[in-house]
Structure 1
Amino acid sequence: MDKKKVIFIMTDTQRTDMLGCYGYPDMKTPSLDRLAQDGIRFEKAYTTQPVCQPARSAIFTGSYPHSCAGWSNCMGLSDNVQNIGRRLTDQGIHSAYIGKWHLDGGDYFGLGRCADGWDPDYWYDMRCYLEELTEEERYLSRQTESMEKYDIKEEFTYAHRCTVRAMDFLEKNRDDSFFLVVSYDEPHGPFLCPKEFWSMYDGYEFPHKANMLDTLEDKPAHHKIWAKDTYMAAAREDFKLQPKYYLGCNSFVDYEIGKVLDAAEEYAPDAIIIYTSDHGDMLYSHSLTSKGPAMYEEITHIPLIIKGFGENRTDPHPVSHINLAPTVMDIFGLPVPKVMEGSSIYRELLDGTRTNEYVFIEFGRYEVDHDGFGGYQPVRAVYDGRYKLAVNLMTSDELYDLQEDPQELVNLINSQTEEHMEVKLRLHKALLDNMYATRDPFRGYYWENRPWHPDTAYQTWDSRLMTRQRENTEYEPVQLDYSTGLPIVNAVRLKNESEAKFAKKKP
């Protein structure tokens, strides 16, 4: 068996417009710019949910957040969900995870315990880092003001300590097949990096976008409630967006990534390298901050670069984090498990063939342990490469034409033109079909019947009358049919379909 190596690098809260290689030369990201030169830069890559844990759940399990109990921060994944480290380790692939995990229900920092399937010698979540520090050091590591008050050294930072471990892994495992994840917390707040990085942006004003003046007249009610926290700050004449610490940490994590890339070049020059970020930050676009129950580009459209399939290429097709786990399985020559809900983009990497007709994005709740961020806000969205439809179950819906309106200022949901009606109905059908195909636990007739599409065909107690049982045969017995007690033949079927077929066979 050929020795195959995959290095998966990810950051937290890094927008596409925070990378020079995505067309923003003011952003100092030479390492990721170099990676883009050496690989494929995806122009239309999307998270499955613009929140830390849900985004990671899709990346590392291959299942949508709603399918693996990862639809909110602070939730541990279901016990019967295998992460990709477990799956690869069981196939003889050395798998190591260094950095932020955020999938064990241990809130932001994690439990400090190695997750199932990964090499415990390299496990290093954020709790592991904090437990290396004194109480005083822990406190200052969580205060933005530490950037000004103290001379923060690189060696003190979480990013640096992750990098050191990653370089050690690459050196010691140069002769083996492996899957290495390096998961940085940066540039997520509260921000911590040496002065040389944030001082580069001292006085720098982040470019204003037209949608920062969006007053949300035709937008969902929960966006307006969310925007009250900003008091439409970007509309004030004296408003300046100067996120020097955020951008400083952005350049700092790029520097740390550069050291991992250098080590990979020395010890694993044939490694496939995948880089992405979990989601972005609103930064006052649409009068909103942070991330949450919205499908806007600023938080859902993420950077994705893959090295190992040709140099200096761009990919114009819509892809999703849900594609990454099956792609990694494909790279290692392993079967893609049926329980993974995305398709591998391996062929797309090889020859540019489009994989996805649609990509799907969702929202459930920001977090379960804390109040805030709007509470439960169920949203499901679909994007076809031009149009994006968002169904906001508890408020009103949205449709944007990103080709004509890339800043999503004009909500077309109530447009009655023939073109827009066709688009709405087509996207709505794709969205609903995906909810049922993936066993979305929140599916039901209420997603079907919307004010702009008063379809009551499925407005019944049993909705679509479908059953879809779980297929995870690598780790579980084949599930049994409720109606017959026999092993299922078709996992997806009409209710009682098996019972009817079996009854016909009886003497």
Structure 2
Amino acid sequence: MPISDAKPIRNILFIMADQLRADYLSCYGHPHLQTPAMDALAARGVRFSRAYVQAPVCGPSRMSFYTGRYVASHGSSYNRVPLRVGEMTIGDHLRPLGLRTALVGKTHMTEDRDGMTRLGVDRQSVEGVFAAECGFEPYERDDGLWPDEVNPHDLAYNRWLRAQGYEGDNPWHANANAGRDAEGNLKSGWLMRNCAEPAAIAEEHSETAYMTMRAMEFIDEAGDQPWCLHLSYIKPHWPYIAPSPYHAMYGPQHVLPANRTEAERKSPHPVVGAFMQHEESVNFARDEVRETVIPAYMGLIRQVDDHLARLWEFLEQRGLFENTLIVVTSDHGDYLGDHWLGEKELFHEESVRIPMIVYDPSAAADATRGTVDDALVEAIDLAPTFVQAVGGTVPAHILEGRSLLARTRATGEGWRHACFSQCDYAFRGARLTLGRAPSESRAWMVRTDRWKYVDYDGYAPQLFDLMEDSAEQHDLGGSADHATIRDELRDELFRWLRDRRMRVTLSDTQIEARTDTHKHRGYLFGVW
């Protein structure tokens, strides 16, 4: 069926790969790592070149994706900081529109147990499950971490692995995320020195293969009921260890030079310098580590892409490309030694920019198919996109993003001129190095078409001219010639902070209807 004859959107497939850098897809320009399935989706949809997360770390980034709200509004500022009960999520917006909204994979959601107890919400009730699972039906919840709060026997993936013949309490750790050397010795994937070893598991039993299978099972089970499925891949997030043959697809010769200079290392911004002292940063500063880890990281990405190819074929066979909105994205990037850093959390492009590919099956999107959109896009834009796509009214007093259908359908609507991200490093060793209190350990990013401004609580700001310095190697935060630019961007940040959606219980339409109606309601105050 030609795309122009597509049926109305019924379903949403929201795919996220954890810790996937934008520039590690071939359609985003990687010279060695080929991602044909993601490239194929981009050829059928729109690839956004400048998409940014609202916090470059798993938990708060995902809470912004799921709520459609900035971290300053929803308050879940770091991993394991509970999302307060009552915050509406994608599921809360889509279920009343008739969609079964489910999860396969990771959310990094931490439930607000104190709030649920205070309100008498039973964790085992339907309402309790949605409150604790970020609004999703947990068809297969698996955050891809050692099950530290439950018995490993209770992890569904572990039960399935044991049914396939893997032994022990936790084959997630002993097989899926551990390797074996040439002598057959078990090598933990937690240790990056072992990343070159093949995972001690058959590829078809690995996390990526399993989650793809479970996604297909959900779609078949859903049948004719409209659905929103969040397929949230655990990889390429650490442990960086891939099953054969993906462990050996790439080598040191495919590792791109690190984006870092000695000058950057010798005189860093104080907060960046404190992050450089973290163990992951010290290790990723070594070429040996980069040349061991990055090939495994690349292999894990290629594995995700190959399973997306399986999924595309599955959707084609069922005619679901005709009426399913599909998004492929990530929750943040990965420094991999760039800027002398490991992990994520700060605001360099390697950390805060993400891939964002949107396939809109509507005939109204035909003109934009295969295009690259350079608009400034935020993670919070997906929630209003989903609501609008299935015919709902976007609650603008709650959702702080903008529907991307204005971009995929080229409606000509105005767009934002700046995007924003936040960092709460209170939980990290950098705070102790700097001697900061938890409430003082914050930073904010403003990114415009040309400039990136980072405001640190208690420290001088950073400023980068992305037009002249796309590698972010020349910090203009102390440049006298750029004082006016810094002042303008600081004002932009203050305007943004003032504009947060705090009144979420009444819409502007309801306010309009109530304005200056007190006499009609019997309140005669001030009358002579």
1:135 to 169, 180, 202: 169
The reply to whether residue 262 of structure 1 matches residue 313 of structure 2 is yes
CA distance, structure 2, for counterparts of residue 116 and residue 427 of structure 1: 33
The reply to whether residue 284 of structure 1 matches residue 372 of structure 2 is no
The reply to whether residue 408 of structure 1 matches residue 467 of structure 2 is no
CA distance, structure 2, for counterparts of residue 404 and residue 232 of structure 1: 29
1:153 to 161, 178, 202: 202
Match of 1:193 in 2: 242
Q: TM-score normalized by structure 2?
A: 0.77
Q: TM-score normalized by structure 1?
A: 0.80
The answer to whether the 8 A contact 1:12-1:184 is kept is: yes
Note the 1:110-125 alignment, pairs <5 A.
Answer: 115=133, 117-121=135-139
The reply to whether residue 90 of structure 1 matches residue 96 of structure 2 is yes
Identify unmatched segments of 5+ residues in structure 1: 440-468, 480-486, 491-501
Match of 2:377 in 1: 319
Deviation for aligned residue 1:394: 3.1
Q: In angstroms, what is the RMSD of aligned CA positions?
A: 3.1
Deviation for aligned residue 1:236: 7.1
The one-character-per-residue Cα deviations of 1:271-292 (angstroms, maximum 9, x if unpaired) are 1111100101111111111112
Match of 1:497 in 2: none
1:175 to 210, 221, 224: 224
Q: Aligned in 2, Cα 1:237/1:312: closer, same or farther, shift over 3 Å? A: closer
1:390 to 454, 468, 476: 454
CA distance, structure 2, for counterparts of residue 47 and residue 283 of structure 1: 18
CA distance, structure 2, for counterparts of residue 366 and residue 247 of structure 1: 31
Note the 1:287-436 alignment, pairs <5 A.
Answer: 287-292=340-345, 294-308=346-360, 309=365, 310-337=368-395, 338-351=397-410, 353=412, 355-365=415-425, 367=427, 372=429, 374=431, 376=438, 377-417=441-481, 420-436=482-498
Residue 369 of structure 2 aligns to a residue whose secondary structure is coil
Greater fraction of residues in helix:
2
The one-character-per-residue Cα deviations of 1:445-476 (angstroms, maximum 9, x if unpaired) are xxxxxxxxxxxxxxxxxxxxxxxx422348xx
Q: Aligned in 2, Cα 1:3/1:212: closer, same or farther, shift over 3 Å? A: same
The reply to whether residue 70 of structure 1 matches residue 123 of structure 2 is no
CA distance, structure 1, for counterparts of residue 143 and residue 86 of structure 2: 22
Q: Aligned in 2, Cα 1:163/1:212: closer, same or farther, shift over 3 Å? A: farther
CA distance, structure 2, for counterparts of residue 235 and residue 426 of structure 1: 35
The residue identity in structure 2 corresponding to 1:286 is H
CA distance, structure 2, for counterparts of residue 296 and residue 37 of structure 1: 28
The answer to whether the 8 A contact 2:25-2:33 is kept is: yes
Higher relative contact order (CA 8 A, sep 6+): 2
Deviation for aligned residue 1:234: 7.5
Identify unmatched segments of 5+ residues in structure 2: 1-6, 114-122, 148-154, 162-167, 178-187, 433-437, 517-522
Residue 389 of structure 1 aligns to a residue whose secondary structure is strand
Q: Aligned in 2, Cα 1:352/1:399: closer, same or farther, shift over 3 Å? A: farther
Q: How many residues in Structure 1 have an aligned counterpart in Structure 2?
A: 448
The residue identity in structure 2 corresponding to 1:139 is H
Residue 73 of structure 1 aligns to a residue whose secondary structure is coil
The answer to whether the 8 A contact 1:233-1:287 is kept is: no
The answer to whether the 8 A contact 1:214-1:285 is kept is: no
Q: Aligned in 2, Cα 1:6/1:400: closer, same or farther, shift over 3 Å? A: same
Match of 2:164 in 1: none
Deviation for aligned residue 1:504: 7.4
The one-character-per-residue Cα deviations of 1:9-45 (angstroms, maximum 9, x if unpaired) are 0011111121011011301312111111121111111
The one-character-per-residue Cα deviations of 1:325-352 (angstroms, maximum 9, x if unpaired) are 1111111121212111222222122117
CA distance, structure 2, for counterparts of residue 211 and residue 27 of structure 1: 21
The answer to whether the 8 A contact 2:387-2:393 is kept is: yes
1:220 to 249, 269, 277: 269
The reply to whether residue 21 of structure 1 matches residue 27 of structure 2 is yes
CA distance, structure 2, for counterparts of residue 381 and residue 116 of structure 1: 26
The answer to whether the 8 A contact 1:5-1:272 is kept is: yes
CA distance, structure 2, for counterparts of residue 146 and residue 211 of structure 1: 23
Match of 1:6 in 2: 12
The residue identity in structure 2 corresponding to 1:328 is F
The answer to whether the 8 A contact 2:42-2:359 is kept is: yes
Q: State the identity as a percent.
A: 26
CA distance, structure 1, for counterparts of residue 214 and residue 55 of structure 2: 29
The answer to whether the 8 A contact 1:213-1:234 is kept is: no
